Amino acid sequence: MRTGLMNAVLDSLVVSPSKTIRDAMIAIDGSGLEVALVCDEHRRLIAMATDGDIRRALLAGETLESNIMTAANRSFTTVQSGAERSAAVRAMLDGGFQCVPVVDEDGRLVDLHTLWVSLLGQDTGNWAMIMAGGKGERLGELTHGIPKPMLPVGDRPILERILQLLVSHGIRRIFLSVNHMASMIEDHFGDGVRFHCRIEYVREREPLGTAGALRLLPSMPQKPLIVMNGDLLTNVNITRLLSLHDTTKSTATVALRRHAIQIPYGVCQVEGGRVLKLEEKPKLTYDINAGIYVLSPEALKLVPKDGAFTMTALLDACLSKALPVGAYRMHESWQDIGLPSEFESAQHGEP
């Protein structure tokens, strides 16, 4: 099973030995992986050039138009195709490398392990869609010049935190459903290479509701799809969520969060004109929808071909057909950023 980079990303790192330092820098800059791989016409790996290699060559008098081989390192570590991922991790940790190429028996480049991705684990094969098209009108002036999912919490936008959560659980293909100020989101995330995933954009020409955009997926996923609202701060265990969905054989699974409401008055239970019971300021507790779902292909087929459609309607459609809807009760952190007070509390790490 392939556990390294996608073919398109790997190809973008490869440069010919006839290319210049400038060409290698363009490859490095585009990938965000800080390395260019020098291969001959048969894709045999000849050398590697890192940011540091190029910097040292320029300081020694080479120019951007110098041949890349004046900067590249011909002495490098590889692992053989078919080797366990643990072997690649050991090679990187032992050598202090951020990446290690995978070659076949003839020395041809077939993959590249990066330390960050390798430590995360294998690609699960699941896709995810993040709903990032909302205007965030309840947030008032906070979203006048920025889409709600791009509001910064600490040093990163909310949406970037969601993306990194998904990638950390082996999700490598992610769709962003965009509408309001979409270009700002697209400019920040690009094709996803620097976030170690593949990002594709689902563009809503008009608001389609919380589930309507699902019909815009390019094809039906082969595995359950994760769907998340784009305004959540959470460390929900995606791996555990997918496992629950699978073991319970659910068509859809909803993440739930316990939410308590404090009634500020004494409550009376009355029957037949008589008070039977009094309770002073009771607390009511409910399981609320956390805006995180897993949908099997069978559920996705219930999304109508046109018109706005909500996630609630989709789940109701599953229930009406007696299709099982699972419940994942969250114990992980979770916060919906819908109001200025919630955004302010998020800045201080408050629940």
Residue type, 259: H
What digits encode the pLDDT tens for the residues 49-64? Answer: 998 999 999 999 999 9
Share of the chain above pLDDT 90, in %: 61
Tell me how crowded residue 266 is: count the other CB atoms within 10 A of its CB: 10
What is the average per-residue pLDDT within 334-347? 72
C-alpha torsion sign, points 113, 119, 122, 128: negative
pLDDT at 281: 94
Nearest to 212 by CA among 203, 224, 199: 203
User: What fold does the segment set 127-347 form as a domain?
Assistant: Spore Coat Polysaccharide Biosynthesis Protein SpsA; Chain A (3.90.550)
Rounded Cα distance between 236 and 208, Å, is 26
0.85 exceeded by the pTM? Answer: no
Rounded Cα distance between 247 and 172, Å, is 22
Crossing angle of helices 182-189 and 158-168, rounded to 10°: 50
Tokens coding 106:
């003839």
E-strand stretches of the chain: 14-15, 35-39, 45-50, 79-80, 99-103, 109-114, 127-131, 152-153, 156-157, 173-178, 198-203, 225-229, 232-234, 252-262, 267-271, 274-279, 283-295, 325-329, 334-336
Tokens coding 45:
């790996």
What is the average per-residue pLDDT within 229-247? 92
Q: Print burial letters for 296-325: b (CB count within 10 Å at least 16), e (below 16).
A: beebbebbeeeeebebebbbebbeeeebeb
Of 8-22, 82-96, 135-149, the one with minimum mean pLDDT is 135-149
Confidence class for position 138, pLDDT limits 50, 70, 90: low
What digits encode the pLDDT tens for the residues 243-286? Answer: 999 999 999 999 999 999 999 999 999 999 999 999 999 999 99
Give residue 133's region: left, alpha or beta (phi > 0; psi -120 to 50): alpha
- Which strand ranges, in their side-by-side order, compose the sheet holding 173-178? 198-203, 173-178, 127-131, 225-229, 283-295, 252-262, 325-329
**So where are the chain's domains?**
7-120, 127-347
CATH number belonging to domain 7-120: 3.10.580.10
Residue type, 160: E
What digits encode the pLDDT tens for the residues 148-157? Answer: 888 888 888 9
Does pLDDT of 291 surpass 80? Answer: yes
What is the average per-residue pLDDT within 219-229? 97
DSSP code of 266?
-
Q: CB of 141 within 8 A of CB of 236?
A: no
